[in-house]
Amino acid sequence: MNIVFMGTPEYAAKILCALTVAKFEIAAVFTQPDKPVGRKQILTPSEVKVYAQKHLPAVPIFQPATLKDEAVAAQIKELKPDFIVVAAYGKILPQSVLDIAPCINLHASILPKYRGASPIQSAILAGEKQTGVTAMLMDAGLDTGDMLDFAYTPCEDKTAAQLFDELGDLAGELIVRVLQNFANLKPLKQDGTQATHCKKISKSDGLFGFEQSAEQIYNKFRALTPWPGIYLASGLKILDLEILRESCGRKFQRTGEILHVDKLGFCVSCGEGAVKIIKVQEPGKRPVEASAYLNGKRLGIGDIVS
């Protein structure tokens, strides 16, 4: 079985790894162009490219700026793929590519919920108890194609980073199962009336205030860890926090008030419930334990954190 693989981040690299271990023939790998990263803007390859160079040295790697170029479609057609497997590639597949072979996308949500660019973060933000991966046949729409199979996992208290890692493994198992049983699968149409959509996460999404409920703040922290993280209007970034479950549903007279302090951190009142702040970082400074931050600012019980 001849596979053209398209993907970019670690999530996709895990899927490519699963295909490799299962002995599928990888005809080519398509991934995003190398991008400048960090303050020094060092040109950095994608995780998929790094994996392919190390484990699939004989497989050609393509990094086109767009797939809309007719020459790219012709190039893919020459490879004569049985399937095109797509996972967080980050580029739109034009009809000229979709027509070459069945294109199977591994989308990190249970469709039709959370179509779009940030399904994992959006599921956490919404307080979902369960999420997963959908294997779907791609069409011209955004994550609107017929569904082939699913893999599920509980969200529990996992961060987006933890779910990305877990869902990458699940997606790898899922695509192997789907390809091996493709002839027997019956595609299921999505119910468009149940569809929800999610946008690309930006740095500004990390802004929060203690007027929000503890549940909302905790979900935001989990969803936006490690990037962009969550921060107050003052720029104070919260690097670690816990939700105080026993406080959920409780209302306080003031939000942002320090309720309790111990060696591990300090508890803060929210719009509903309370959270415990464990580690913080001020703009331009190093991360510090929450207790050290309080000592430096001379803050204590009854004071307001903003």
Q: Which residues line the annotated binding site?
A: 109-112
> Which residues are known binding-site members for (6S)-5,6,7,8-tetrahydrofolate?
109-112
The count of other CB atoms within 10 Å of the CB of residue 187 is 12
Return d(Cα 287, Cα 295) in angstroms, integer.
Answer: 14
The count of other CB atoms within 10 Å of the CB of residue 30 is 26
DSSP characters over the chain: -EEEEEE-SHHHHHHHHHHHHTT-EEEEEE-PPPEEETTTTEEE--HHHHHHHHH-TTS-EE--S-S-SHHHHHHHHHT--SEEEEES--SPPPHHHHTTS-EEEEESS-TTTTEES-HHHHHHHTT-SEEEEEEEE--SSSS-SPEEEEEEEE-TT--HHHHHHHHHHHHHHHHHHHHHTGGG---B---GGG--EEPPP-GGGGB--TTS-HHHHHHHHHHTTTTT-EE-TT--EEEEEEE-GGGTT---SSSSBEEEEETTEEEEE-SSSEEEEEEEE-TTS--EEHHHHHHHHT--TTPBP-
